Amino acid sequence: MLLKNKNAIITGCNRGIGKSILELFAQNGANVWACVRKPDEEFAHFMQQLINRYQVEITPVYFDLSDYEQIKTGVKTIISEKKNVDILVNNAGVTYNALSQMTTMGKMEEVFKINFFSQYLLTQYVTKLMVRQKSGSIINIASSAAIDANSGRSVYGASKAAIICASKALAEEMGDKGIRVNVVAPGITKTDMVSESMTEIVINETISSTSLKRIGLPQDIAGAVLFLASDLATYMTGQVLRVDGGLGK
Q: What is the CATH number of the domain that holds 230?
A: 3.40.50.720
Range(s) of the domain holding residue 232: 7-190+217-243
Q: If you average pLDDT over every residue of the chain, what do you get?
A: 95
* Residue with more model confidence, 95 or 124: 124
Residues 20, 2: Cα–Cα separation, whole Å? 16
Which candidate, 156, 6, 26, places its Cα nearest to that of 88? 6
Residue 25 one-letter amino acid? F
Is the residue at 198 inside a domain?
no
**Strand-pair partners of 107:** none
Which candidate, 132, 239, 229, places its Cα nearest to that of 185? 239
CB within 8 Å of 116: residues ≥ 6 apart: 159, 162, 163, 166
Cα–Cα distance list, 22 to 48, 136, 168, 211, 240 (Å): 12, 18, 25, 28, 21
Q: What is the pLDDT of residues 103-137, one digit of tens each?
A: 899 999 999 999 999 999 999 999 999 999 999 99
CB-count exposure of residue 38 (10 Å: 0-12, 13-18, 19+): exposed
Is the residue at 204 inside a domain?
no
Residues 59, 12: Cα–Cα separation, whole Å? 13
pLDDT band at 98 (very low <50, low <70, confident <90, very high): confident
Determine whether 156 is an active site residue: yes
pLDDT of the residue at 90: 98
User: Do the Cβ atoms of 238 and 182 come closer than 8 Å?
Assistant: yes
Is the residue at 123 inside a domain?
yes
Q: What is the pLDDT of residues 144-175, one digit of tens each?
A: 999 998 887 899 999 999 999 999 999 999 99
Rounded mean pLDDT, 35-55? 97
Is the residue at 196 inside a domain?
no
Is the residue at 230 inside a domain?
yes
Residue 136 one-letter amino acid? G
pLDDT band at 101 (very low <50, low <70, confident <90, very high): confident
List 68, 125, 156, 235, catalytic entry = 156
Other Cβ atoms within 10 Å of 247 Cβ, number? 23
Is the residue at 2 inside a domain?
no
Using the predicted structure, report yes or no on whether residue 89 has a pLDDT greater than 80. yes
Using the predicted structure, report yes or no on whether residue 241 has a pLDDT greater than 90. yes
Rounded mean pLDDT, 171-190? 97
Residues 186, 157: Cα–Cα separation, whole Å? 12
pLDDT band at 249 (very low <50, low <70, confident <90, very high): low
* Residue with more model confidence, 15 or 249: 15
Is the residue at 203 inside a domain?
no
Is the residue at 201 inside a domain?
no
Residues 117, 159: Cα–Cα separation, whole Å? 9
Provide the residue count of the chain.
Answer: 249
Helix axes 16-27, 41-54, angle to 10 degrees: 20
Using the predicted structure, report yes or no on whether residue 197 has a pLDDT greater than 90. no
Rounded mean pLDDT, 21-28? 98
pLDDT of the residue at 126: 98
* Residue with more model confidence, 100 or 27: 27
- As for how many domains the chain has, the answer is 1
Using the predicted structure, report yes or no on whether residue 7 has a pLDDT greater than 70. yes
